[in-house]
Amino acid sequence: MTTQTTETSSPMDQREDLLVVKDLKKHFRIDRKTVLKAVDGISFSIKKGETLGLVGESGCGKSTVGRTLTRIYEPTAGEVGFGGANIGGRIDRATKRRLNHDMQMIFQDPYSSLNPRMTVAEIVSEGLVIHNPDMKQKERDKRVQELLELVGLNKSHAGRYPHEFSGGQRQRIGIARALAVEPKFIVADEPIAALDVSIQAQIVNLLKELQKDRGLTYLFIAHDLSMVKYISDRIAVMYLGKIVELAESEALYEKPLHPYTQALLSAIPLPDPEKERTREQIILTGDVPSPTDVPSGCRFRTRCPFAMDSCAVIDPEFREVEPGRQVACHLYDPEVMAKEGKEVTVR
| Contact call for residue 69 and ligand SF4 (CB under 6 A) | no
User: What is the arrangement of strands in the sheet containing 325-327, beginning at the earlier edge strand?
Assistant: 103-106, 185-189, 217-222, 51-55, 234-239, 242-248, 325-327, 319-322
Q: Which of 22, 37, 47, 301 binds ligand SF4 (CB under 6 A)?
A: 301
| Contact call for residue 282 and ligand SF4 (CB under 6 A) | no
**Closest approach of Cβ 315 to ligand SF4, in Å?**
9
Pairing of strands 242-248, 325-327: antiparallel
**Closest approach of Cβ 301 to ligand SF4, in Å?**
4
**What value, to the nearest 5°, has the Cα angle with vertex 247 and ends 294 and 60?**
25
Q: Which is nearer to ligand SF4, 229 or 301 (CB)?
A: 301
| Contact call for residue 311 and ligand SF4 (CB under 6 A) | yes
| Contact call for residue 19 and ligand SF4 (CB under 6 A) | no
Q: Which is nearer to ligand SF4, 174 or 316 (CB)?
A: 316
The CA distance from 91 to 18, in Å, is 18
The CA distance from 261 to 5, in Å, is 19
The CA distance from 147 to 154, in Å, is 9
Stretch that binds ligand SF4, among 56-64, 170-178, 221-229, 296-304 (CB under 6 A): 296-304
The CA distance from 328 to 33, in Å, is 29
Q: Cα dihedral sign for 197, 201, 207, 211?
A: positive
Q: Which of 2, 39, 68 is nearest to 238 (CA)?
A: 39
**Closest approach of Cβ 75 to ligand SF4, in Å?**
26
Q: Which of 316, 318, 325, 326 binds ligand SF4 (CB under 6 A)?
A: 316
The CA distance from 84 to 61, in Å, is 25
Q: Which of 69, 252, 304, 325 binds ligand SF4 (CB under 6 A)?
A: 304
Contacts of 148 (CB under 8 A, 6+ apart): 120, 124, 154, 155, 157, 158, 176
Q: Which of 189, 173, 167, 168 is nearest to 111 (CA)?
A: 167
Q: Which of 158, 169, 298, 325 binds ligand SF4 (CB under 6 A)?
A: 298
| Contact call for residue 56 and ligand SF4 (CB under 6 A) | no
Is the distance from CB of 102 to CB of 82 less than 8 angstroms? yes
Stretch that binds ligand SF4, among 3-11, 138-146, 196-204, 299-307 (CB under 6 A): 299-307
**Closest approach of Cβ 82 to ligand SF4, in Å?**
31
| Contact call for residue 337 and ligand SF4 (CB under 6 A) | no
Q: Which of 47, 170, 234, 330 binds ligand SF4 (CB under 6 A)?
A: 330
Q: At what angle do helices 167-179 and 120-131 cross, to 10 degrees?
A: 20
| Contact call for residue 264 and ligand SF4 (CB under 6 A) | no
| Contact call for residue 238 and ligand SF4 (CB under 6 A) | no
**Closest approach of Cβ 331 to ligand SF4, in Å?**
5
Contacts to ligand SF4 by CB under 6 A: 259, 298, 300-301, 304, 306-308, 311, 316, 329-331
